[in-house]
Amino acid sequence: MRNFLIRGVAAGAIALLSLTACSQRSEEGTTSAGTTEAAKGFPADSLIGVALPAKTSENWVLAGDLFTDGLKEAGFQSDVQYAGSSTTVADQQSQIQAMVTKGAKVIVIGATDAAQLSTQVEAAKAAGASVIAYDRLIKNTQGVDFYVAYDNFKVGQLQGQALLDGMKAKKPEGPYTIELFSGSSDDNNSAVFFDGAMSVLKPQIDNGTLVVGSGQTDIKQTAIDAWKPENAQRRMDSLLTSTYTSKTLDGVLSPNDTLARAILTSIKGAGKPLPIVTGQDSEVESIKSIMAGEQYSTINKDTRNLVKQTIQMVKDLQAGKQPEINDTKSYDNGVKVVPSYLLEPQIVTKDNAAEAYANDPNLAPLTK
Amino acid sequence: MSRVKELQKSLFGGTTSNARQFGMIFTLVAIVLLFEILTNGLTLNPGNLISLVSQYSYILILAIGMLMVIVAGHIDLSVGSIAAFVGIVVAKVMQDYSLPWFVAILVGLAVGALIGAWQGFWVAYVGVPAFIVTLAGMMLFRGGNQFIGNANTIPVPEGFRVIGAGFLPEIGPDTGYNNPTLLLGLVACVAIVIREWRGRRTRREMGADVAPMWISVIRVAVPLVVVVFATLQFAGGRVGTSFPVSGIILAVLVVIYSFITRNTAGGRHIYAVGGNARAAELSGVKLKRVNFMVMMNMSILAALAGMIFVARSAASGPQDGIGWELDAIAAVFIGGAAVSGGLGTISGSIVGGLVMAVLNNGLQLLGVGSDRVQIIKGLVLLLAVAFDVYNKKQGRFSVIESLMRPFRRDTPAPASPAEAEQERGKSPVAG
Amino acid sequence: MSDAPVLLEMRSITKEFPGVKALSDVNLVVRAGEIHAIAGENGAGKSTLMKVLSGVYPYGSYSGQILYQGSESRFSDIRASENAGIVIIHQELALVPGLSITENIFLGNEPRRGGVIDWKTANRRAAELMAMVGLEEDPDTLIGDIGVGKQQLVEIAKAFAKNVKLLILDEPTAALNEDDSQHLLGLMREFRQRGITSIIISHKLNEIAETADSITILRDGQTIETLDIKADGVDEDRIVRGMVGRELHSRFPDHTPNIGEVFFEVRDWTVRHPIAAERLVSKNASFTVRRGEIVGFAGLMGAGRTELAMSIFGRSYGTYVSGQIIKDGQEIVIKSVSDAIAHGLAYVSEDRKSIGLNLLDDIKTSVVSAKLSKVISHGVIDQVREHRAAEDYRKSLRVKAPSVDDPVTTLSGGNQQKVVLAKWMFTDPDLLILDEPTRGIDVGAKYEIYGIIQRLADQGKGVVVISSELPELIGLCDRIYTVFEGTITGDIARADADPELLLKQMTSVKKAQRS
User: For residue B375, how far is the Cα from the chain centroid?
Assistant: 22
Amino acid letter at A319?
A: A
Residue C19 included in any domain: yes
User: Contact A16/B228 with Cβ under 8 angstroms?
Assistant: yes
Whether residues B106 and B126 fall in one domain:
yes
Helix, strand and coil in chain A, % to nearest 5: 45, 15, 40
- Judged by a CB distance cut-off of 8 A, whether residue B282 touches chain C is yes
The pTM (predicted TM-score) of the whole model is 0.77
Whether residues C437 and C515 fall in one domain:
yes
CB contact under 8 A, A116 and B317: yes
Buried (b) or exposed (e) across B305-333, using 16+ Cβ within 10 A? bbbbbbbbbbbbbbbbbbbbbbbbbbbbb
CA atoms within 13 A on the CB side of C326: 13
Burial class from Cβ neighbours inside 10 Å (0-12, 13-18, 19+) for residue A27 reads: exposed
Whether residues C206 and C69 fall in one domain:
yes
* Nearest-angstrom CA–CA distance, A275 and A264: 8
* Model confidence pLDDT, tens digit, residues B96-114: 998 999 999 999 999 999 9
CATH number at residue C132: 3.40.50.300
Task: Give residue B11's pLDDT band: very low, low, confident or very high (50, 70, 90).
Answer: low
Residue A16 scores a pLDDT above 80: no
Q: What local confidence, expressed as pLDDT, does residue A27 receive?
A: 56
CB contact under 8 A, C442 and B431: yes
CB contact under 8 A, B322 and A116: no
CB contact under 8 A, C355 and B205: no
CATH number at residue B334: 1.10.3470
The residues, any chain, with a CB within 8 Å of residue C73's CB and separated by 6 or more, are C66, C67, C81, C84
Helix, strand and coil in chain B, % to nearest 5: 75, 0, 25
Ranges A35-49, A113-127, A194-208, A320-334, most confident? A194-208
Whether residues B228 and B331 fall in one domain:
no
Whether residues C123 and C153 fall in one domain:
yes
Residue B431 included in any domain: no
Query: Which domain range does residue C375 map to?
Result: 357-428
Residue B111 included in any domain: yes
Whether residues B219 and B286 fall in one domain:
no
Question: Which residue, C244, C268, C288, sits at the end of a domain?
Answer: C244
Looking at the 3D structure of chain C, how many domains does it have? 3
Whether residues C457 and C487 fall in one domain:
yes
Question: Which residue, C191, C218, C244, sits at the end of a domain?
Answer: C244
Lowest mean pLDDT among A93-102, B218-227, C16-25: C16-25
Residue B430 included in any domain: no
* Contacts with C362 from chain B: Cβ below 8 Å: 15
* pLDDT (average), residues B307-321: 90
Cis ω before B414 (30° cut-off from 0): no
Q: What local confidence, expressed as pLDDT, does residue A38 receive?
A: 44
Whether residues C123 and C228 fall in one domain:
yes
Q: What local confidence, expressed as pLDDT, does residue C310 receive?
A: 93
* Nearest-angstrom CA–CA distance, B82 and B66: 13
Q: What local confidence, expressed as pLDDT, does residue A34 receive?
A: 37
Q: How many CB pairs under 8 A join A and B?
A: 195
Closest CA to B370 of C106, A53, C308, C359: A53
Whether residues B149 and B109 fall in one domain:
yes
Whether residues B396 and B317 fall in one domain:
yes
Residue count (chain A): 368
ipTM of the complex: 0.79
B381: phi > 0 → left, psi -120 to 50 → alpha, else beta; which?
Answer: alpha
Whether residues B335 and B373 fall in one domain:
yes
Query: Which domain range does residue B192 map to?
Result: 174-243
* Model confidence pLDDT, tens digit, residues C110-121: 888 877 888 888
Strand bridging mode C345-348 / C431-435: parallel
Count of Cβ atoms closer than 10 Å to residue C383 Cβ: 18
Whether residues C156 and C56 fall in one domain:
yes
Torsion sign across C-alpha atoms B84, B87, B92, B95: negative
- Judged by a CB distance cut-off of 8 A, whether residue B206 touches chain A is no
Determine the distance in angstroms separating the CA of B410 from the nearest CA of chain A, rounded to an integer: 29
* pLDDT (average), residues A198-209: 94
Whether residues C443 and C456 fall in one domain:
yes
Closest CA to C26 of B53, B149, B417, B338: B417
CATH number of A152-301+350-357+362-367: 3.40.50.2300
Whether residues C124 and C260 fall in one domain:
no
CB contact under 8 A, C358 and B279: yes
**Inter-axis angle of helices B79-96 and B287-313, to 10 degrees?**
60
Which whole-number Å values give the CA distances from A80 to A60, B177, B178, in the listed order?
A: 11, 34, 33
* Model confidence pLDDT, tens digit, residues C158-217: 888 888 889 998 888 776 777 788 888 888 888 888 888 999 988 778 888 888 999 999
Question: Which residue, C228, C244, C260, sits at the end of a domain?
Answer: C244
* Nearest-angstrom CA–CA distance, B345 and B342: 10
CB contact under 8 A, C47 and B284: no
Whether residues B84 and B155 fall in one domain:
yes
Residue B160 included in any domain: yes
* Nearest-angstrom CA–CA distance, B330 and B79: 13
Torsion sign across C-alpha atoms C175, C180, C182, C186: negative
Strand partners, A346: A300
Chains that touch B (3 or more CB pairs under 8 A): A, C
Burial class from Cβ neighbours inside 10 Å (0-12, 13-18, 19+) for residue B69 reads: buried
Q: What is the DSSP string of C248-312?
A: -S-SS---------EEEEEEEEEEE-SS-TT-EEEEEEEEEEETT-EEEEEE-TTSSHHHHHHHH
* Model confidence pLDDT, tens digit, residues A128-171: 999 999 988 898 899 999 999 989 899 999 999 999 999 999 99
User: Contact B104/B169 with Cβ under 8 angstroms?
Assistant: no
* pLDDT (average), residues C410-435: 91
* Contacts with B418 from chain C: Cβ below 8 Å: 42-43, 400, 411-412, 415
- Judged by a CB distance cut-off of 8 A, whether residue B173 touches chain A is no
Which residue in the set B342, B395, B413 is minimally distant from C358, CB to CB?
B342
Strand partners, A210: A176
Whether residues C337 and C374 fall in one domain:
no
> Which runs of E-coded beta strand occur in A284-364?
297-300, 340-343, 346-349
Whether residues B17 and B138 fall in one domain:
yes
Whether residues C176 and C294 fall in one domain:
no
* Nearest-angstrom CA–CA distance, B234 and B185: 9
Cα angle C233, C238, C239 (rounded to 5 degrees) comes to: 110
Domain A38-144+303-343 matches domain A152-301+350-357+362-367 at the CATH topology level: yes
Whether residues C236 and C283 fall in one domain:
no
CB contact under 8 A, A117 and B313: yes
Whether residues B200 and B270 fall in one domain:
no
Residue B429 included in any domain: no
Which residue in the set B262, B275, B416 is minimally distant from C358, CB to CB?
B275
Q: Do chains A and C touch (3 or more CB pairs under 8 A)?
A: no
Residue B2 scores a pLDDT above 70: no
Residue C349 included in any domain: no
C-interface mutation test, from B283, B290, B393, most C Cβ less than 10 A away: B283
Which residue in the set C359, C370, C379 is minimally distant from B284, CB to CB?
C370
Looking at the 3D structure of chain B, how many domains does it have? 2
Chain B residue with the nearest C-alpha to that of C47: B431
Residue A251 scores a pLDDT above 50: yes
Q: What local confidence, expressed as pLDDT, does residue C469 receive?
A: 80
Chain B residue with the nearest C-alpha to that of A79: B367
* pLDDT (average), residues C375-396: 91
Taking every pair of C-alpha atoms in chain B, what is the biggest distance, in angstroms? Answer: 71
The topology (CATH level 3) of A38-144+303-343 is: Rossmann fold (3.40.50)
User: Contact B57/B250 with Cβ under 8 angstroms?
Assistant: yes
User: Contact B6/B409 with Cβ under 8 angstroms?
Assistant: no
CA atoms within 13 A on the CB side of C330: 4
CB contact under 8 A, C90 and B286: no
Whether residues B354 and B417 fall in one domain:
yes
The residues, any chain, with a CB within 8 Å of residue A34's CB and separated by 6 or more, are A26, A27, A28, A128
Q: Do chains C and B touch (3 or more CB pairs under 8 A)?
A: yes
CB contact under 8 A, B206 and C387: yes
Whether residues C279 and C406 fall in one domain:
no
